[in-house]
Amino acid sequence: MAEISQKKYRKGRRLPAKRGLLVTFVVIAVLAVGLFFADAITSNLSGPPQHIQLGATFSKPYAESLGLDWKAVYTAMLDDLLVQRIRVPAYWDNIEPEPGVYDFSDVDWQVREAAKRGAQIVLAVGRKLPRWPECRVPAWATGMDETLLRARILGMIERTVKHYSEFPNIIMWQVENEPFFPFGDCPEPDRALLKQEVQLVHALDNRPVMVTESGELSTWINAATLGDVLGISTYRVVWDKRLGYLYWPITPATYRGRAAAIRGFVDDIIVSELQAEPWVPGGMENMPVDEQLRLLSPQRLLDNVDFARRIGFSAAYFWGAEWWYWLKTVKGHAELWDTAKEIIQGGGEIFPTSPASSASLPVMRP
């Protein structure tokens, strides 16, 4: 009996101690998180916004997937938004529909229409290019032996660069899209092949070559050691299948610190993909427009531009112009298009009313 009482006594003494440790741990964790976000807000607001050259990515397949006339979208970007820098992917399945048979007409049209208006082009080449499914392999090359496929990729890049080498408004080449980031319906990253691709473009033309990386989920070193220009993505609100939507807690200072570490490898660093549309895992047609606008409102677009300016890189390319046009012409919501127009035509010199606002974010929402 005495032994049982002693066990109860010991157990009773231990329980408060465990609770005390748990409470202490929770308090420390809360303080650490609070300090982190306080530092994040301070970093977001610290340092003056820098001048930035704004452009946009345009994807013909994406515009078509929204049921749009892709030429009308592109023309509106040039004539209404007055975009002066456009990143244009030369999708492999579009430019080589049959083995050795090339059709550059769609890309030619985009490059020439830009040239008519004095706009400049970043031409993206390779197997993996912007927009899902990223890797666009022609049907005739599906299932091809990988060694032969690599040779075909190099041949396609050579033909494309040679074709566009006479277009003076192409200011830069992009080789592949975030080739080290495992995203899209693509094979494993292949640094050796990417190095061959970059060397090939350098041998064919003297304009700079950009290699891109995930701004948040990589160290940037792989791309920086291969290209002349490093392009990074910048996302503020992301989606995870386990956590739902959440605010990505990275500050401009974080990007500046990474840039300082790799500056010696590249001539320039830009934001090649600045979030300007919501991350919708099931496609825009499967989410109500009001919810889309809550995820990416005009205010958040302003905030994202301000964020990019505080990073201090020389240029940023919007990701989502096709969506703005779809909202305006199909859904009757012109607010994103009009806000982007004001930003672009103002040279990005518009300041948001609440630079660190995040109150309306659907954090941790399933």
pLDDT at 282: 85
Tokens 């691709």 correspond to 197
Maximum C-alpha span of the chain: 97
Is residue 64 classed as helix, strand or coil in its secondary structure? helix
Nearest to 331 by CA among 282, 298, 285: 285
| Averaged pLDDT, 112-117 | 98
The alpha carbon dihedral of 73, 78, 79, 82 has a sign of positive
298-311 and 335-345 helices, crossing angle to 10°: 30
Q: Which of 105-114, 141-150, 189-198, 238-247 has the lowest mean pLDDT?
A: 238-247
Strand 229-234 with 209-213, pairing? parallel
User: Is residue 295 over pLDDT 60?
Assistant: yes
Q: How many residues does the chain have?
A: 366
Span 174-221, pLDDT tens digits: 999 999 999 899 999 999 999 999 999 999 999 999 999 999 999 999
CA–CA gap between residue 361 and residue 275 (Å, rounded): 15
Strand 120-125 with 170-175, pairing? parallel
| Averaged pLDDT, 146-158 | 97
**Residue spans per domain, the chain:** 1-45, 52-345
3-state percent helix, strand, coil for the chain, nearest multiple of 5: 50, 15, 35
Q: Which fold has domain 52-345?
A: TIM Barrel (3.20.20)
Model confidence, pTM: 0.85
Assess contact for 266 and 230: CB atoms under 8 A. Answer: yes
Span 224-236, pLDDT tens digits: 999 999 999 999 9
